[in-house]
A = this chain, B = another copy of it.
């Protein structure tokens, strides 16, 4: 399944890499695609994920989780 979240604060490819790495480490996540201009983070997972897990990963990377 796939969910798209909005993350703010990403300004460059390094930011995209940091967010992708943290979100990809969440249990159940199989793919992460980030669109830098819009801040859209599309997460593919093998099962339903709690949004709080994604929020925590985004914040761990140092960015702001702005919603689903």
Contacts and interface: CB of A to CB of B under 8 A. Distances in A.
A34 to B, nearest CB: 14
A12 B12 CA distance: 7
Chain A interface residue count: which class? under 10
Consensus secondary structure, chain A interface: helix
A38 B12 CA distance: 17
Nearest to A11: B11
Interface string A17-39: 01000000000000000000000
Contacts of A15: 12, 14
A13 to B, nearest CB: 8
Interface of A: 11-12, 14-15, 18
